[in-house]
Structure 1
């Protein structure tokens, strides 16, 4: 009996093993069949055109919601709306005119030119500001208001405008010919193209006296005034200002320049005939820049554009329905929260120290829109840092990243002197500071440091002031770079020593 039981048990084990093996082989065959099907599907997917694969992926991604409750189709629509509003000329003008500094500059310039028109006095003024600080917008706003107020349709103009540019009218002959042409066009006179320099100069004096008799005013606009202060172009300034002063005509001269020392570049005979009135268009403070940035990144609620800027545009950009309104509010809420965070304020504050104009704000907004469009997500801190960092690379920074360690040490030494309150310093002061900055393995001789100092002056990193008859090492100088630019050079310089990085870090704390 026991032998029979043992035989039954062994047969059961063999049967179980056989059934398990059979089922195992079936499972392996099923798994292999699944793998073959997956391989066939992947092969068919690869053989399909790329457009169909992208469309399938796009449909799957579009069905998913964007970050913060904003769907990706809605985000793309919002970015397209922001881009169109940003590239609209009327929108840019409104952003500039909303600034308080813009209004103050307009009032000052309007008062000076208006006194010339009403009281018949000669005036000259310099409109100065950094590139992109809305100098031309201020001038065009004032001139547009004055011409609309004092000139009547169908009658001879009471106020005329003559525009010259230092880039276009490089010599005296072409400049006087252009003045005569614009005066003839304004008051319907015959213009003689073949007139010589002396003939045009005599015509200018005669027409100014005639305009004085008729109580008419002419406004001369000299764009890029600093280009007229070179040696071969000083004659134009002298002849024009002398003609205005000699005729006692009702005329005003408005010079535009980005250099604050433009008047000091004039010769004495021209400078004595040009008043020292200045209207400065300052760069907006960081708070103003952040306000404009937030305004340009905000989607208007209710329609695709504000104040009819995009009326008649693509109907697909029109916002309607509760879903669109909720997504607009969500998008604007996320942008506002991002710009109000402490990290964003620190990044923007550093950015506006080097790029504090409305133009740079608009360029920053365009970069952020492209970043959000590429990643299909709302505004994030890495996007803001990358956009600000790419725009902060100025020409001086690019050049500074390739300078030697000695030149970089000289710049850090000058920055340390300025932090201590020194407005100017000579080479001896700088070299003493360099001696305190050098490490044990780096020593710079005085002759090599002097060569580096001369090189920095030639490359416009440093400018010398005061008496030029002094020796080079005793001549006062000052730095032409900002601290944030030097900090960026040190952060990106490939060969900057660690000791110099630590010394510079103490300066920029």
Structure 2
């Protein structure tokens, strides 16, 4: 009897320990998901940047002169999308914020050309980010320059050296060029040249010809500092970036779990199949956003019961990353819509890519139906037209020219936006596709 009670007690204790362990693992996994997703989505700085040490030092020195010595500056960070412009800036800001004097005084204003589409919206956003809504109140200003000068004056604590330095970061800088008279850029650059308030303006753009787009008066007030970025790292450095992006920080809540996770990341980086997969991605695109997307897809498989990323997770993520979005749309089409796409494919083959209209597609479809009428229900022309319009809405078919009011829908010239390989790959994966339809797609000759 005592033996039985002892066994029951041991069983209860082990269950309690198992629940506690499961709860601790769950907390660790949610922390891993939060830290890494934040890193992948927001380009948070980890480690030192590769291949851009010179640009890093240049930008750091530039911002230090503003934040420590009260100098005003302006600069442009120029590079293709995904070259690391935002990441470079985040690295520099992270290092600056470790200095107490800067952390307590520096004010940042982040503007984006996609969001702040005119100067009025931009000024409202500057006021909000500087927390000066109450100061401005219902005041009416004669000009944009007067309004901006008032905002910066409100931040002053005394002389120039004791004023709060303000860092303006303009993402998608080239879109601000299209604002009326480039008033925002003119005033920001004008203030950055004056000795009133320490202001630095940093623009991020992928336009190499950005200076040619600036008005003469704006260009004359710009400091002409340009920092160019290109993805110049090699594959060894790419592997190192892979490890750093996936590794957990030293201050992670569970040290033993972090050690286990980081050891697993090290093993993955040495795995031949993972290296081959990363090399394919590296040759396809050196854009670090592509790597972040791949890692994000792999991270989505991590759960309490599957706590570590495996090589198969990365390979599955690679397949998802390379998946053709248009082919995926085809998987959700009806058999009638599939038939119309095959008819267009045959028209492309016969007429060597020349545009077609709905009537030609309908005639082609009718010929197939007459030969293979037993495999499908015979659709009326208005129903076929509705299916064709659905393909147009999905942007699998595109009109060659803008339709006029008088033009008949049946005779508008169209172009198919799928190539033969995409169509055939989609058909292979299409569930319950009639055999006759597949055979019609693979036949080299149209049913003329």
Count of matched residue pairs: 337
Deviation at 1:351, TM superposition (A): 1.5
- Over 3 Å counting, the alpha-carbon distance change for 1:334 and 1:491 in structure 2 is farther
User: Are the counterparts in 1 of residues 47 and 244 from structure 2 also a CA contact under 8 Å?
Assistant: no
User: Are the counterparts in 2 of residues 120 and 250 from structure 1 also a CA contact under 8 Å?
Assistant: yes
Match of residue 195 from structure 1: 139
Matched position secondary structure for 2:298: helix
Structure 1 unaligned segments of length 5 or more: list them.
1-73, 299-304, 320-324, 409-437, 447-458, 460-485, 499-509
Q: Does 1:340 align with 2:267?
A: no
Match of residue 383 from structure 2: none
- Over 3 Å counting, the alpha-carbon distance change for 1:135 and 1:79 in structure 2 is farther
Aligned partners of 1:135 and 1:384: how far apart in 2?
A: 26
Deviation at 1:397, TM superposition (A): 9.5
5 Å matches for 1:66-85?
A: 84-85=31-32
- Over 3 Å counting, the alpha-carbon distance change for 1:80 and 1:368 in structure 2 is farther
Match of residue 222 from structure 2: 274
Deviation at 1:198, TM superposition (A): 2.3
Match of residue 214 from structure 1: 160
Aligned partners of 2:78 and 2:326: how far apart in 1?
A: 25
- Write the deviation string for residues 374-417 of structure 1: whole angstroms up to 9, x where unpaired: 9979977765443213213587998999xx99xx9xxxxxxxxx
Aligned partners of 2:90 and 2:203: how far apart in 1?
A: 13
5 Å matches for 1:254-403?
A: 254-283=202-231, 285-294=234-243, 307-311=250-254, 335-336=268-269, 339-341=271-273, 344-370=274-300, 384-393=314-323
Deviation at 1:172, TM superposition (A): 1.7
* Residue range with higher mean Cα deviation, 192-201 or 210-219: 210-219
TM-score (norm 2): 0.53
Deviation at 1:191, TM superposition (A): 1.4
- Over 3 Å counting, the alpha-carbon distance change for 1:181 and 1:368 in structure 2 is closer
- Over 3 Å counting, the alpha-carbon distance change for 1:100 and 1:126 in structure 2 is closer
Matched position secondary structure for 2:109: strand
Matched position secondary structure for 1:222: strand
Q: Does 1:204 align with 2:145?
A: no
Deviation at 1:253, TM superposition (A): 0.8
- Write the deviation string for residues 216-267 of structure 1: whole angstroms up to 9, x where unpaired: 4432222332332225473322333344446675432111234444444444
Aligned partners of 1:96 and 1:111: how far apart in 2?
A: 20
Aligned partners of 1:177 and 1:225: how far apart in 2?
A: 18
- Over 3 Å counting, the alpha-carbon distance change for 1:84 and 1:291 in structure 2 is farther
Q: Does 1:125 align with 2:76?
A: yes
Deviation at 1:307, TM superposition (A): 1.3
Aligned partners of 2:93 and 2:192: how far apart in 1?
A: 20
Matched position secondary structure for 1:254: strand
Deviation at 1:309, TM superposition (A): 0.9
Aligned partners of 2:189 and 2:324: how far apart in 1?
A: 37
User: Are the counterparts in 1 of residues 74 and 223 from structure 2 also a CA contact under 8 Å?
Assistant: yes
Matched position secondary structure for 2:242: helix
- Over 3 Å counting, the alpha-carbon distance change for 1:281 and 1:487 in structure 2 is farther
Aligned partners of 2:96 and 2:243: how far apart in 1?
A: 33
- Over 3 Å counting, the alpha-carbon distance change for 1:491 and 1:110 in structure 2 is farther
User: Are the counterparts in 1 of residues 45 and 94 from structure 2 also a CA contact under 8 Å?
Assistant: no
Q: Does 1:87 align with 2:37?
A: no
RMSD: 5.8
TM-score (norm 1): 0.48
User: Are the counterparts in 2 of residues 122 and 245 from structure 1 also a CA contact under 8 Å?
Assistant: yes
Aligned partners of 1:116 and 1:279: how far apart in 2?
A: 17
